[in-house]
Structure 1
Amino acid sequence: MQSRTPPGAEPGPIRADTDSRLSAALASVVAGARRRAVRDGDRQIDTAHLLHSLLETDPDVRAAFDDGAQVVRLLGYLVQRSIGYGLQWQGTIEDSGSVPLVKVGDFGPAKEKRWSPSATAAMEAAIERADRRGEPRALGVDLLVALIADPDYRAVEVLGRAGADPKAIIRRIEEAPSTGPYVDPYADPYAGTSAD
């Protein structure tokens, strides 16, 4: 996916309180996504990096999938990113076009990897979802819901390759008593539909 971000756009700030709004577990996920982007030699941290880190570390996120085999397939695709299908993403910026074309956000010191516009939007949507549930900090499932809210995100492409159904994932999250109902602040392409 080619970037629609204007050439020469400098990384800029996003919500100043973002790091303080993440649960300890989600802050660890974010750190893992940063490390993975550096290890893979990617320009920016994108939604697939976040999905990979979530699947590796958060048992509540893994519980939202059909079974352990589906999680293993997803991790298999994500591990191959630097040698397989993900090569098409290297050197590009993830931007689904559904988020405003703004300067790329930065969750951390300036010397660290920058976030794609899509990953920035997903992080902010996760915090907004936690707010609607009355929680002070976003959880991994909040980020998972945000990652699958836009069918053009790289995370959704990975889910499709592994045969995971985003509608079924959302339904399982909605039914979990600890995470409450799903309400998306953006137009949700899966709202009002039933899982096949």
Structure 2
Amino acid sequence: MQPRIPRQPVQDQGSIHADDDAGLGDELAAVVAGARRRAVRDGDRQVDTAHLLHSLIEYDPEVRAVIGDAPQLARLLGYLVQRSIGYGLRWQSGVEDSGAIPALPQAAAMGDGAWSPVAAAALEYARSRARRRTADQADGTDLLAGLVVDPESRAVEVLERAGVAAPALAVRIDGDGGVRDTEAESRTSSR
């Protein structure tokens, strides 16, 4: 029987390390590693935004506080847990790519093809948001902002099903719903 998930090179099985150019600190490196483990355990071909959201909620208390109260978090975790026992089975055969956000080639290469285009774009968005804040490394809130940018991502689908409105969440993250086009901002500021 052929494995459903292609084997990753040995150097790529753990996580993105904090000392590489990924711009992720130790805490987000743990989130990324947890998302990868979850994808492998669930039998998914790629790490997607729902894997990242689940891992982010488990590891980051600030993210849990931004998302909502205990009943909302319980509903959200319930949907995320159900993913591996049926809810997410329809996702296993496809790649998460809504086409709403262009996937950046350098972000997609991080997992040697193991990242969905939307998840890779969310990680890139988190790094861009951290640079905009003049921070050295992205944090959990940066990644959460990246996860809600694409209204058709799996993370947004799970959030919405659990009763967490992604646009309202974006407002709570940035105060003004600041899901911005950072590339356009950098082009404008360089003129």
Specify if TM > 0.5: yes
Please give the alpha-carbon distance, in whole angstroms, between the structure 1 residues aligned to 2:171 and 2:21.
27
Match in the other structure for 1:191: none
Query: 1:173–1:181: 8 Å Cα contact kept in structure 2?
Result: yes
Amino acid aligned to 1:137: Q
Match in the other structure for 1:105: 108
Please give the alpha-carbon distance, in whole angstroms, between the structure 2 residues aligned to 1:25 and 1:42.
23
TM-score, reference length from structure 1? 0.76
Deviation digits for residues 114-173 of structure 1 (CA, Å, limit 9, x no counterpart) = 000000111001100001011010001001011001111000000011000122222222
Would you identify which runs of 4 or more consecutive aligned residues in structure 1 move more than 4 Å? 101-104
Match in the other structure for 1:185: 181
The structure with higher relative contact order (CA 8 Å, sep 6+) is 1
- Deviation, structure 1 residue 42: 0.2
TM-score, reference length from structure 2? 0.78
Instruction: Name the SS of the counterpart of 2:101 in structure 1.
Output: coil
Instruction: Report matched runs for 1:50-65 at 5 Å.
Output: 50-65=52-67
Match in the other structure for 1:155: 155
Instruction: Name the SS of the counterpart of 2:108 in structure 1.
Output: coil
- Going from structure 1 to structure 2, the CA distance change for 1:80 and 1:18 (only over 3 Å counts) comes to farther
Match in the other structure for 2:166: 166
Please give the alpha-carbon distance, in whole angstroms, between the structure 2 residues aligned to 1:131 and 1:115.
22
Query: 1:129–1:183: 8 Å Cα contact kept in structure 2?
Result: no
Match in the other structure for 2:118: 118
| Root-mean-square deviation over aligned CA pairs | 2.3
- Deviation, structure 1 residue 71: 1.1
Match in the other structure for 1:96: 98
Deviation digits for residues 82-103 of structure 1 (CA, Å, limit 9, x no counterpart) = 2222111012100011233676
- Deviation, structure 1 residue 66: 2.3
Query: 2:103–2:120: 8 Å Cα contact kept in structure 1?
Result: no
Instruction: Name the SS of the counterpart of 1:75 in structure 2.
Output: helix
Amino acid aligned to 2:169: I
Please give the alpha-carbon distance, in whole angstroms, between the structure 2 residues aligned to 1:152 and 1:60.
24
Match in the other structure for 2:143: 143
What 5-or-longer segments of structure 2 have no aligned partner?
1-19, 184-191
- Deviation, structure 1 residue 72: 1.3
Query: 2:145–2:179: 8 Å Cα contact kept in structure 1?
Result: no
Please give the alpha-carbon distance, in whole angstroms, between the structure 1 residues aligned to 2:32 and 2:48.
11
Task: Give the stretch that moved more between structures: 92-101 or 72-81.
Answer: 92-101
Please give the alpha-carbon distance, in whole angstroms, between the structure 2 residues aligned to 1:106 and 1:50.
17
Please give the alpha-carbon distance, in whole angstroms, between the structure 2 residues aligned to 1:170 and 1:100.
20
- Greater helix content: 2
